[in-house]
Amino acid sequence: MNTINRIITIVILPFLFTAASFAQEMQVKKIAVLPFSYNGVDSVFVQTADAMLRLEISKLDSFSLIQQKITSEVLLNNDCIFSDKDCAVKIGKELGAEQVLTGNLSALGEKIIVQYFLIDVTTSEDIIIDQITAANVEDLEVVMKRIAKSVNEKKSINQDVEVGQVTETETKNSLRRGSNKNFGVSFGYLYPSNGYDEIDNSLVFDLRYGFELDEAALGLMLGIRRGFAMNIYGQYLFTKTDFCPYLGGALGFHWVSHDLFSDKADGFEFSLNTGIRAFRTYSFEILINFEYIMTFNKFNDRAFVFTVGIL
**Quick check: pTM over 0.85?**
no
* Annotation: CATH topology of 27-173: Rossmann fold (3.40.50)
Residues of the chain with CATH 2.40.160.20: 181-310
| CA quadruple 102, 107, 113, 119: dihedral, nearest 10 | -10
Please say if the pLDDT value at position 164 is more than 90: no
pLDDT at 21: 45
- Burial status of residue 141 (CB atoms within 10 A of its CB: 0-12, 13-18, 19 or more): middle
Give the model's pLDDT for residue 136. Answer: 85
Q: What per-residue confidence (pLDDT) applies to 25?
A: 47
Q: What is the pLDDT of residues 192-232, one digit of tens each?
A: 999 888 888 899 999 999 988 888 899 999 999 988 999 99
| pLDDT one-digit tens code per residue, 259-293 | 765 566 888 999 999 999 998 888 889 999 999 99
Reported confidence tier of residue 178, pLDDT bands at 50, 70, 90: low
CB 194 within 8 A of CB 302: yes
CA distance linking residue 124 with residue 119, whole number of Å: 6
**pLDDT recorded at residue 6:** 52
Q: State the span(s) of the chain assigned CATH 3.40.50.10070.
A: 27-173
Provide the greatest CA pair distance for the chain. Answer: 90
Closest CA to 202 of 227, 222, 185, 184: 227
- Identify the pLDDT of residue 177: 65
**Average pLDDT of every residue of the chain:** 83
The pLDDT, as a whole number, for residue 167 is 67
Amino acid occupying residue 198: E
Determine the topology of domain 181-310 in CATH. Porin (2.40.160)
Alpha-carbon gap, residue 191 to 200, rounded angstroms:
6
Contacts 24+ apart (CB under 8 A), 140-147: 140/45, 140/48, 140/49, 140/52, 140/112, 140/114, 141/52, 142/166, 142/167, 143/49, 143/114, 143/167, 144/49, 144/52, 144/53, 144/56, 145/52, 145/56, 147/53, 147/56, 147/103, 147/114, 147/116
pLDDT tens for residues 64-101? 888 888 888 888 887 777 778 888 888 888 888 899 99
pLDDT at position 262 is: 58
